Structure 1
């Protein structure tokens, strides 16, 4: 793989050997053989079951399809037990897991497979067009395995059944051996393949357990509410590390009532979410109908949670919220805002807008455009160094050159740190716009607008203006059963913001466009407005 690798001239020959992440499964099968590993509806797989199925799949991949150490395995599937089995089988063989966002189109997934140079594909039966697109687009693809009955490949379950009983040991791995190609969301262009390694992920698992989920044990129960292909997959690795069970939601559209029912039934202790999912969970009437007192950690990431939403969630759930800031390139491992730093009362201790402090073993630096380190409270680009930082982008020297500078990974996010080391994100570098020569950070405007009780979601964009260069456009979604006007919202922010920060335009939508992971990205919002002819014309902007 063409990635940034350390100079090993001075390394001892045995110094970079590390534990294969699949060893967590081996250990659990020995210690907790009859305890549940995965629960999905009425089906349960114990750790012994999971270990046998992973070995059977690894055997099939190796003997039938010729998968070897370092080969990339593309996966197109929603959450199920099989996606976890494929991940662990890849790790066991020393191969590389390449999960897609299952909501992407056939051509998009085919691009991921091309970029990864996939050797094999595992595809859920409901995606025949994806399987066909990948067959046509990926040279050297050995085949496609079908999860469920389909015409495009042999049955996953039949292959597993034919190989049960075969024992496949975990491959020897180096700490810098890739094990996961994590594709970015492509919010500013085509997705890039982030190279995650055995050593890096092992550190990150330990870090997550220390900083996000302290005192986790085999008795914990984790509810999987987000796609396992991304942040929820990292969270599941934490559960595998301690032998805790993961409970999957039923297939289909996210149902808050069903989620709370499962929390009560299985006495769920933790879950990984994004702010939009937390908002859906706590605003649904079912939050008051089911017992959720077993919850210890409701972890949210992917985007900061607006203060008003945070306060409402705390009111409903108590002190269980844990926020972290992190990108795929750092495996979600940059900051943490622990439970004790979440306060329902406003005031200095609430530190409204912070995403927390540096994670254990990570170092954050706020830097200017030239890479100079800035003092407390000075705004600049958030940069990070530490063992959680990825090995680079797969075969993308241009992206690597832009993302790494003087040993620091450049997040592309803007922010500042206070004197105590709490980090505040003011926005993506690409989200900031300049109006009349002054920088405008949309998040400041969004936070204030959301203090209006009838405003559910908002995204502020910079759009061209013939006089000021750029002005703000506020895209708004009202709470169900409510209506809003531009005058009402301007009344919330007028006098509290400088005039150049006030949006010049307001657009009201019934629903905010989101990524497959529930995130609001400015790119997606722009595309939606453009497609619907709602983007104001720069030449006639007032």
Structure 2
């Protein structure tokens, strides 16, 4: 960190690589508006001064009582709560690495994540005693009253007024292990760093939510363990109050009540949840006049759903595309480029253009850049790209090529730089020697008025190699024959699904996303593959 600028080869060596500890965002917000409301959950309110004092107290305890040292990993198993926000900033302030689990995972799954991350402390909500018991060999701290460890509330009270030693961090020091969803194989720990996340926060404020102030309010409708946690870190950076749902039960009417009560201006969600919000009967009396940015990510939004949301909420939708490995920081489609009505100037199906400071290439399987309009793998470089997977050299070797991060998503760019996602590389199937991209078919199926959700998968076929099956959720009676007749003039014959299945609902991940693996598993569980003619 103290080497002089310059070296014999004529390059430059940084004088310093030190950066701000991410927890400083909270300190800055508390200085600007100590008496302002920072966090809301049910009837509980924390001011920015209280949030800061509680974070200091817990960070001091982590260091003085639990011996937390810089770089130590801290597992967190909890549904959304105020103490989870407090703990995240306290861990960073003390120099630890935040390792949140998806709270809907099983005890065995969380035990594996704890072991894989090398965590030595575990923050666990009192409602998950089995998860705590499964994670033997780590020190447990509870959110609430529990037999498995002391409570954060009591620890905080016992250390109020004490200041921790704020950890000195470098740009590449880890701050967060962001586990992948694990749709194929074991989840991998993406290592996010203090410098990277500072860039992401700045970029979110520039590209997604420009002009946020302490007068804004953000409603959390997704788990803080993943994208919503990054979103709330961004809110703290600008002193925006965070409103949490009072329980883990997702109640659409309650969401709209909170939007009205707190004059909510920003919401981060996924397309399936946004669809629920817009189509619920409570929407008829909802007051959405305070909304400025309704940000959706995690999966592309089908055009018909996008149009309905725009007609209902107005031009407040913002889309971004990215992965946990770059914390969403790949493309943005800002509000002014969302249009409800189709027209010659509307780019239907795009997820936007490259985020500030990010470069995108569409590459073939040899890493060569493809021209506009050709489909290939979406690859990116830029300060938002993570440091790599923790202790996983094989995954790192596969994920990076010539410095480019390979997303595993397929797509193409037009000649103006707008990106169109075709689907996951693993979703594509080959039928009769031709590549088939399910998303294109799904978009067409959803234009039928009776279909509200659909997932298209490639299923083994003795004649064609693979054929498409469309698993549909219908809002009105419809038959396979009717859907086939509807699609025949709209897509090439080789892309036409061979079967249409009708289910009451599609399985979704803990983050509200439809994943092809879960749909495929359900097809197998129902024994439908056994009914396929040989």
TM range (shorter): over 0.9
> How many Å separate the matches in 2 of 1:358 and 1:305?
18
> How many Å separate the matches in 1 of 2:265 and 2:362?
35
Deviates more, 1:45-54 or 1:58-67: 58-67
Alignment of 1:248-259 (within 5 A): 248-259=244-255
> How many Å separate the matches in 2 of 1:277 and 1:461?
22
Q: 1:325 aligns with which of 299, 321, 327?
A: 321
> How many Å separate the matches in 2 of 1:45 and 1:11?
46
1:443-502 deviation line (CA, Å, top 9, x unaligned): 0100000001121110000010001000001111112xx232212221221122111111
Partner residue in 2 for 1:355: 351
1:357-411 deviation line (CA, Å, top 9, x unaligned): 0000000000000000011111100000000000000000000000000000000
Partner residue in 1 for 2:524: 530
Q: 2:430 aligns with which of 423, 434, 441?
A: 434
Unaligned runs of 5+ in 1: 1-6
> How many Å separate the matches in 2 of 1:119 and 1:343?
49
* 2:8 corresponds to 1:17: no
8 Å CA contact 1:343–1:349 kept in 2: the answer is: no
Deviation of the 1:536 alpha carbon:
5.1
8 Å CA contact 1:77–1:83 kept in 2: the answer is: yes
> How many Å separate the matches in 1 of 2:126 and 2:245?
19
> How many Å separate the matches in 2 of 1:230 and 1:348?
37
Partner residue in 1 for 2:69: 68
8 Å CA contact 1:448–1:492 kept in 2: the answer is: no
Deviation of the 1:506 alpha carbon:
1.4
> Could you tell me the TM-score, scaled by structure 1's length?
0.95
Partner residue in 1 for 2:32: 31
Partner residue in 2 for 1:237: 233
> How many Å separate the matches in 1 of 2:233 and 2:37?
15
8 Å CA contact 1:329–1:390 kept in 2: the answer is: yes
> How many Å separate the matches in 2 of 1:405 and 1:435?
29
Q: Which has the higher contact order (CA 8 A, sep 6+)?
A: 1
> How many Å separate the matches in 2 of 1:116 and 1:90?
15
* 2:291 corresponds to 1:295: yes
Alignment of 1:110-509 (within 5 A): 110-135=111-136, 139=137, 141=138, 143-479=139-475, 482-509=476-503
Unaligned runs of 5+ in 2: 1-6
> How many Å separate the matches in 2 of 1:392 and 1:500?
39
Partner residue in 2 for 1:520: 514
Say if 1:91 and 1:455 are closer, same or farther in 2 by CA, change over 3 A.
same
> How many Å separate the matches in 1 of 2:165 and 2:68?
15
Name the Cα RMSD after superposition.
1.3
8 Å CA contact 2:55–2:89 kept in 1: the answer is: yes
Deviates more, 1:303-312 or 1:280-289: 280-289
Partner residue in 1 for 2:4: none
> How many Å separate the matches in 2 of 1:351 and 1:78?
38
> Could you tell me the TM-score, scaled by structure 2's length?
0.97
8 Å CA contact 1:76–1:123 kept in 2: the answer is: yes
1:111-139 deviation line (CA, Å, top 9, x unaligned): 1101100010000011111001111xxx4
Deviation of the 1:55 alpha carbon:
1.0
Q: How many residues align?
A: 526
> How many Å separate the matches in 1 of 2:483 and 2:418?
30
Deviation of the 1:36 alpha carbon:
1.0
> How many Å separate the matches in 2 of 1:191 and 1:249?
27
Deviation of the 1:252 alpha carbon:
2.7
Deviation of the 1:350 alpha carbon:
2.2
* 2:96 corresponds to 1:95: yes
Deviation of the 1:169 alpha carbon:
4.2
Deviation of the 1:88 alpha carbon:
0.2
> How many Å separate the matches in 2 of 1:456 and 1:163?
52
Q: Residue 464 of structure 1: SS of its match in structure 2?
A: strand
Q: Residue 97 of structure 1: SS of its match in structure 2?
A: strand
Q: Residue 349 of structure 1: SS of its match in structure 2?
A: coil
